[in-house]
Structure formats: structure tokens, C-alpha cells
Amino acid sequence: MNTQELQEIIGYRFCRPDLLERALSHSSWANEHKEPRGSNERLEFLGDSVLGFLAAEYLFRSYPQKPEGELTKLRAAAVCEPALSAYAKSISLGEALLLGKGEAATGGGSRPSILADAFEALLAAMYLDGGIEPARHFILGFLKEGTEHPAMVDSKTELQQIVQQTPEESVDYVLVDESGPDHNKCFVVEVRLHSNVLGVGRGHSKKVAEQEAAREALRLMGI
């Protein structure tokens, strides 16, 4: 996946494409290509702090009755490596990463630690490119998901497995609405089985909206 496709998925267009490229550059790639700007490790360092602040702010505002100890636990669940890796997978971030030959050959694009670090680097790149508001808008949907559903189940896969209990059946995800400027998009997706709408989802990216649609379909099925 190229950077243009990734920007479409995340609903944000970079004014400085070099920041995005650096966020996608794993150390194995940077070392092989002797990249003078280095890898995404410095951005990952910054992204960790940006993520921590935005997670704390979101929880502080969203749960006014919860004490500090509970907020700390919620934040830990929302920003842990498994959660960040799942967020990255939901936007197909692994497909856009620049990896060295050895790392790519051993499945580095799906390794949780690499995905989690790249997700933080992407958040930092967005912050440096557009400021705190685009970064906040980008991360809010993930934080909501991470705090309400800490396991971050892949609902699309779960729904497909259920549907495929009937041989040769499959669902389709249809984009029915798209609104807002490039840095603040809202996508509406329906998941359909033949002509029947099983669920509707909304999100800051198509991938998130599809997951929400699948999750609603599962909920309506009583799962």
C-alpha cells in the first residue's frame, strides 16, 4: 500500500509527506538504505507522549466520576502494545511500512511490537504536521474502542466466520456516506448480506467504520 492510500484510509493528508515517510521507516529499512533522516524511532518516542496526553485527556473528560486509579487502568488498556497493534491493523498500517529485506521476509509487517511503534510514530508525524487537533481527532475513535472494548476483537473476521457457516456466503461493506474536510472525515459504512443491511458503522476512517458496522451486526445477532 502506498502513502496516498494510507492517507485516504486515515482521513488525513500530510502537508509534509517526508514526515509520513519517516513514520513508516523501520530501523531495518533505514539501516539498509543508509537513510540520513533515520528511522521512525524518534517519532515513536514523541508519539508515546502525545498518545499518553490525549488518552489522559479523553479519559478525564469521558469518565468524570472515575477515580485516578481506575483512569490509570483504563489508559493502560487503551495504549498497551496489543491495543496499539490492533489499531494499526485496523488501518492496514503494516502494508505501508518500509522494512528491510530480512524483516519483511520474516513477517515484520504483522509483528505487534513493530506495528505498535509505527502507530505511535504515525501519531507523532500527524502532530508535527498539523498540530494537536488532527492528532486528537485521529486517535479519539481508537481510544473509545480501546477503553470500551480492551480486547479489540476483530469484528469483521468474527462476523465473516459466522456468515461462512453457510457455504459460499460472504458479506460486503458499502460506503454510504462521507462528509467533512480531509483532516476531519466521517465515514458511514453498511455491512450487507445480499441486499440485507446487517449493521451500520461510523468512524474517522473506512476501516474503523467497517469494524463498527460489523460490531453492530454482531450485537444485533446477540453475539
The whole-angstrom distance between residue 212's C-alpha and the CA centroid of its chain comes to 13
What is the distance of C-alpha 197 from the center of its chain? 25
Residue pair 139/87 in contact by the 8 Å Cβ criterion: no
CB 207 within 8 A of CB 9: yes
Select from 114, 91, 93, 96 the least CA-distant residue to 41: 114
d(CA 76, CA 26): 25
Q: Per residue in 22-69, pLDDT tens?
A: 999 998 888 887 777 778 999 999 999 999 999 999 999 999 998 998
Arithmetic mean of pLDDT, 10-27: 93
- Give the active site residues: 48, 120
pLDDT at 111 over 50: yes
- Across-strand partners of 175? 189
Local structure of residue 205 (DSSP, 8 states): S
Give, rounded to a whole angstrom, the gap between the first and last alpha carbons of the chain. 33
* Residue 24: φ, ψ to 5°: -90, -5
CA distance 12 to 129: 10
Query: pTM score, two decimals?
Result: 0.67
**In which band, very low, low, confident or very high, does the pLDDT at 200 lie, cut at 50, 70 and 90?**
very high
Nearest to 94 by CA among 74, 108, 83, 80: 108
| Contact partners, residue 6, CB within 8 Å, separation at least 6 | 20, 24, 91, 92, 93, 96
pLDDT at 152: 47
Asked whether residue 205 carries a pLDDT value surpassing 80, the answer given is no
